[in-house]
Amino acid sequence: MSPIQILIKELADQYGRRRECLLPVMQGVIERENYLSEYSIVEIAREMDLPAAEVYGTATFYSFMEVKPMGRFVIRICKTITCSMKGKNQVLFAIQDMLKIKVGETSADGRFTLLQTNCLGLCHKAPAMLINHTPFTNLTPEKVRDVLSDFMKK
Amino acid sequence: MGAQYQLNRADFIFKNENDWEEILTKILNQTPQDLINELISSELKGRGGAGFPTGLKWKVAAEAKASRKFVICNADEGEPGTFKDREILERVPYKVLTAMVACGYVIGAKEGIIYLRGEYRFLLEELLKVIEEFEYYLREIGQTFTIKVFMGSGAYICGEETALFESLEGKRGEPRNKPPYPTSSGYMGLPTVINNVETLAHTYTIFKYGAKKFYDLGVQYSRGTKLFSVSGDTPKPGIYELELGMSVQDFVHEFGDGDTKAVQVGGASGSLVPRKKFMDTAIGFSGKLTGISLPTGGSMMLFNSSRSMYNVLDNYLEFFREESCGQCTPCRVGCQQLLIGIKAVKRGDKPASYLDKLIRLTETMQHTAKCGLGQSVANSFSSIVENFREEMIY
């Protein structure tokens, strides 16, 4: 068995193989792989005895379930109203400038993917972003450069 | 204006008393009927925004006959400008857990689920620790209630209760038709009470201090306190617990930066209140005596005169277009056409009168969309376009 098959089997053993266990299983794969490949989707479908189209359809409904390869660190910067008012664009330009990628792209070394997302629930500390699961708030171009420099060493 | 409102601060929810073992014992020593009566007489209404009376919800679920029932805590806080539920789960999670056990006891459910939005994944480890400790205590006192956390994966619509059930069942988060209501057919088609995080935290206050203490706060039809998430152009953004019923004027006096042009009450799906209406608008659930009242899930965003209301509306519509689940046509197509429409008016490709056509489109959406998302686009759209028409055009 491939490592992914083993992971999916472990997740299914842990959560179950009923339909209501599908999201936790997919989330478990994303935790490891950062995205759901076509191969993972087919293997999840096989393991849980569901049509692959159903699995794909469910995955693509959720904005935190990506079906194309992501970098090791996924940056999701909030673009909803308060963050946008509080200088999100300047922060975004600073990120793009530093990583040489645009929104939706992954850096050549596979380290960073840059995405925009809707309200993160951190409006009182706007602008805000997530890197994988970790929130960063009250961002400025200077601050975001410091944060990214730390991640570049990881 | 008959009534005079004022801003009254309160401090119940975040008061960290750590007395949950005592309160839990107090709750479990009362009969379910007593607890329901307590909640009904407190007149607590759902704090997620829709405002359904909580006591009634528990009562109906308690009367439903089924071998298995569920208590669900809705922590899919996605409304732009709302961040109170995160703070509750971070600072006083035991209040929410105690309330879930109380609800389970009242309605006869043994299973509780917290649906936590994917964006709040960073809360998970701490929350699981608290739950573990909590469940350990429950076993000690012979209670068999279990609490699980289910992670969302980034979908605003999953905050809608029936969409949340679909998501819990491992499907796309597409809202169901109502009725049947969750209290008779919710998660897995079984009777379910689904409450917002803040609503549950308020029941803790009520069970601790008694219904009267809660009822004495606020105004008629809008009893008690509410958490407000204050953001935007304000010198003091943050979370504040206030009595319901204040006027927007009083709110702005406290939180504005001296140049407040408008306040968005209730997030992108709420309404925009322009300066000239600050005096006449109260924050609370509407009733016969209260004049113009705006209910809110607690999102209060302030805009000062440097902000373009066109940009604000554009941002909201972009949000709705992305978050519309796509299941029903009025919402899926409507959100897209509204965005295309205001851009066309701004560019001058369409005449100003086209805005009236778009307002009629939002009215159609209000009547025909399947769930609250599509229905409520009309709120922000018409309140912004009607009050700031010139900003939409020039």
Nearest-by-CA chain A residue for B155? A62
Does residue A124 sit in the same domain as residue A54?
Answer: no
A58 vs B contacts (CB less than 8 Å): 170-172
* Min distance A58 CA to chain B CA atoms (Å): 5
Does residue A78 sit in the same domain as residue A54?
Answer: no
CATH number of the domain to which A133 belongs: 3.40.30.10
**Amino acid at site B26:** K
Number of domains in chain A: 2
How do the pLDDT tens digits run along chain B, 394 residues long?
Answer: 444 547 899 999 999 888 999 999 999 999 999 999 999 999 999 998 888 999 999 999 999 999 999 999 999 999 999 999 999 999 999 999 999 999 999 999 999 999 999 999 999 999 999 999 999 999 999 999 999 999 999 999 999 999 999 999 999 999 999 999 999 999 999 999 999 999 999 999 999 999 999 999 998 889 999 999 999 999 999 999 999 989 999 999 999 999 999 999 999 999 999 999 999 999 988 765 556 778 778 999 999 999 999 999 999 999 999 999 999 999 999 999 999 999 999 999 999 999 999 999 999 999 999 999 999 999 999 999 999 999 999 9
Q: Does residue A115 lie within any of the structural domains?
A: yes
Q: Does residue A119 lie within any of the structural domains?
A: yes
Asked if A81 reaches chain B (Cβ–Cβ under 8 Å), the answer is yes
CB contact under 8 A, B80 and A80: yes
Does residue A55 sit in the same domain as residue A81?
Answer: no
Q: Does residue A67 lie within any of the structural domains?
A: no
Does residue A55 sit in the same domain as residue A18?
Answer: yes
Q: Does residue A30 lie within any of the structural domains?
A: yes
Range of the domain at A34: 3-59
Asked if A18 reaches chain B (Cβ–Cβ under 8 Å), the answer is yes
Longest dimension (CA), chain B: 70
Asked if A14 reaches chain B (Cβ–Cβ under 8 Å), the answer is no
CB contact under 8 A, A85 and B233: yes
B319 vs A contacts (CB less than 8 Å): 80-81, 118-119
Which ipTM score applies to this complex?
Answer: 0.97
Report the C-alpha gap between B340 and B337 in whole angstroms.
Answer: 5
Encoded tokens for B297: 């899930």
Q: Does residue A97 lie within any of the structural domains?
A: yes
Report the C-alpha gap between A144 and B358 in whole angstroms.
Answer: 40
CB contact under 8 A, B81 and A18: no
A17 vs B contacts (CB less than 8 Å): none
pTM, whole model, 2 decimals?
0.96
CB contact residues (below 8 A), chain A span 44-73, against chain B = 57-58, 61-65
Which of A59, A85, A100 corresponds to the end of one domain?
A59
Which of A59, A84, A106 corresponds to the end of one domain?
A59
Does residue A16 sit in the same domain as residue A78?
Answer: no
Does residue A93 sit in the same domain as residue A133?
Answer: yes
Domains of chain B: 20-215 (3.40.50.11540), 218-304 (3.10.20.600), 309-393 (1.20.1440.230)
Asked if B373 reaches chain A (Cβ–Cβ under 8 Å), the answer is no
Query: B283, B265 in Cβ contact below 8 A?
Result: yes
Which of A20, A35, A59 corresponds to the end of one domain?
A59
Does residue A148 sit in the same domain as residue A77?
Answer: yes
**HEC secondary structure over A42-80:** HHHHHHHCCCHHHHHHHHCCCCCCCCCCCCCEEEEEECC
- Exposed, middle or buried, B192 (CB in 10 Å: 0-12/13-18/19+)? buried
Query: B220, B46 in Cβ contact below 8 A?
Result: no
A80 vs B contacts (CB less than 8 Å): 80, 268, 315, 319
CB contact residues (below 8 A), chain B span 86-125, against chain A = 86, 117-122
Report the C-alpha gap between B239 and B87 in whole angstroms.
Answer: 8
Does residue A9 sit in the same domain as residue A33?
Answer: yes
Does residue A84 sit in the same domain as residue A144?
Answer: yes
* Min distance B271 CA to chain A CA atoms (Å): 14
- Exposed, middle or buried, B220 (CB in 10 Å: 0-12/13-18/19+)? middle
